[in-house]
Amino acid sequence: MRIEVLTIFPGLIEGYLAESLIGKARSRGLLDLRVHDLRSATADPHRSVDDTPFGGGAGMVLAPGPIFAAVEAAQPVRPLFLLGPGGRRFDQAQARELASAPGGFSLLCGRYEGVDQRVVDHLVDGELSIGDYVLAGGEAAALVVVEAVARLVPGVVGNEASTVHESFSDGLLEEPHYTRPADFRGWPVPEVLRCGDHGRIARWRRAAALARTLRSRPDLVAARGGLTDQEVQLLADHGYPVASPGGAHEEPEAHEPH
Ligand code: SAH
């Protein structure tokens, strides 16, 4: 899988991607990550990439010239996505989509007030946002996307099962995890996890995942159409209070509209 990142701060990207899981995957040849300096194609002695906005206002804008020149010189693998708060919200489903795209993809990092709109209109294939907040630059966002995708590439994570059964993989959060000691400062590990009965453990995990998702992210449960009758029963069997946040099992409003 090839992923290319275009940025005015290549060091920020290289530093992060040299270590840990991704660093190892790169040295094993599983990931071909390339970083391009957007300043590389600048012609002036200051290697400037930004300019003041037409129409006035605060801040600087990344100019189209150096960005087009850098992309035309590097010919990064397509699709090429611009990172920006106005883009499609990046999520686990898209991470899976990108991880299964045969050729890979590229990411363009903005800075300052953002990039000239002609880059959006005529150069990139789409725009990705990592959430509803504003960063100082696209680099941290690019690293989020690279890491979320890279760990789904076969072989990158040692135990592949851990990327099949995890939060968001079936529209739910994952159940809580415990390791030794069995009793830490008087807080015990749930007894069921130490009983050795794998069927019972699997049912508890499913119930705990459902309960946790209902509590922390009821929107995820609603998005999958609420709870099935079996899930309601499973929660009840494990002593969790059941109140569906919507979807299939929601009771109609008691009062009539006037
Ligand atoms: N003035 C812009 C924000 C620019 S922030 C606005 O109000 O929309 C500077 C750069 O940081 C952007 O060009 C983009 O590349 C990056 N960035 C900021 N927030 C981001 C987010 N939520 N997701 C992805 N990239 C983001």
24-54 as b/e: b if 16+ CB within 10 A? ebbeeeebebebbbbbebbeeeeeebbeeee
- pLDDT the model gives residue 235: 98
239 CA distance to ligand 1 centroid (A)?
45
At 184 the three-state DSSP class reads strand
Which DSSP helix (H) or strand (E) runs through 212?
A: helix 198-216
Please give the residue that has the higher pLDDT: either 256 or 112: 112
CA of residue 224 to ligand 1 center, whole Å: 30
Task: Find the domain containing 175 and state its range.
Answer: 169-258
Same domain, 224 and 184: yes
The pLDDT, as a whole number, for residue 245 is 53
In terms of domains, do 116 and 235 share one? no
Same domain flag for 143 and 174? no
DSSP for 117-177 reads HHHHHHT-SEEEESSSS--SBSHHHHHHHHHHHHTTSTTTSSSTHHHHSSTTTTSSPPPP-
Flag whether pLDDT at 12 surpasses 50: yes
Residue-wise pLDDT tens digits, 174-192: 999 999 999 999 999 999 9
C-alpha span between 205 and 183 (Å, rounded): 19
Assess whether 235 and 143 both reside in one domain: no
Looking from the CA of residue 114, the nearest atom of ligand 1 is 13
Q: Which of the four pLDDT bands, split at 50, 70 and 90, describes residue 252?
A: very low
Alpha-carbon torsion, ordered 214, 219, 222, 228, to 10 deg: -20
Q: For residue 55, report the distance from its CA to the centre of ligand 1, in Å.
A: 20
Q: Are residues 65 and 109 in the same domain?
A: yes
> Ligand 1 within 6 A of 53 CB?
no
- 186 plus 230 within the same structural domain: yes
Whether residue 179 sits in one domain with residue 140: no
CATH number where 200 lies? 1.10.1270.20
Letter for the amino acid at 54? F
Average pLDDT over residues 135-139: 98
Q: Verify whether ligand 1 is closer than 6 Å to residue 129 (CB atom).
A: yes
* SS3 of residue 78 by DSSP: coil
pLDDT in tens, 36-75: 999 998 989 999 999 999 999 999 999 999 999 999 999 9
90 Cβ below 6 A of ligand 1: no
Q: Looking at the DSSP assignment, which residues form a beta bridge with residue 32? A: 2
Q: Is 6 in the pocket of ligand 1 (CB under 6 A)?
A: no
Last residue of a domain, one of 115, 150, 185: 150
The band of 167, judged by pLDDT with boundaries at 50, 70 and 90, is very high
Q: Count the Cβ atoms, other than its own, within 10 Å of residue 105.
A: 24
137 with 32, same domain? yes
Q: Which tens digit of pLDDT belongs to each residue from 17-32? A: 999 999 999 999 999 9
Domain count, the chain: 2
Packing angle, helices 20-27 and 10-17, rounded to 10: 90
Does 244 have pLDDT greater than 80?
A: no
Looking at the structure, tell me whether residues 211 and 86 fall in a common domain.
no
Label residue 161 by pLDDT band (50, 70, 90): confident
- Percent of the chain as helix, strand, coil, to the nearest 5: 40, 15, 45
- Residue 254 scores a pLDDT above 70: no
Nearest-angstrom CA–CA distance, 145 and 139? 10
Task: Report the nearest-CA residue for atom 8 of ligand 1.
Answer: 85
Provide the pLDDT for residue 243.
64
Find the 135 Cα to ligand 1 centroid distance in Å: 5
Distance 149 CA to ligand 1 centre (A): 20
157 domain-assigned: no
**pLDDT higher than 90, residue 242:** no
Question: Quick one: pLDDT band at residue 211, thresholds 50, 70, 90?
Answer: very high
Residue 76 near ligand 1, beta carbon < 6 Å: no
CA-to-CA distance for 68 and 237, rounded, in angstroms? 60
- Residue range 153-172: mean pLDDT, rounded: 89
As a whole-number percent, the residues of the chain with pLDDT over 90 amount to: 86
Is 113 close to ligand 1, i.e. is its CB under 6 Å away? Answer: yes
Tokens 């609420």 appear where?
A: 226
Q: How many CB atoms lie within 10 A of CB 182?
A: 11
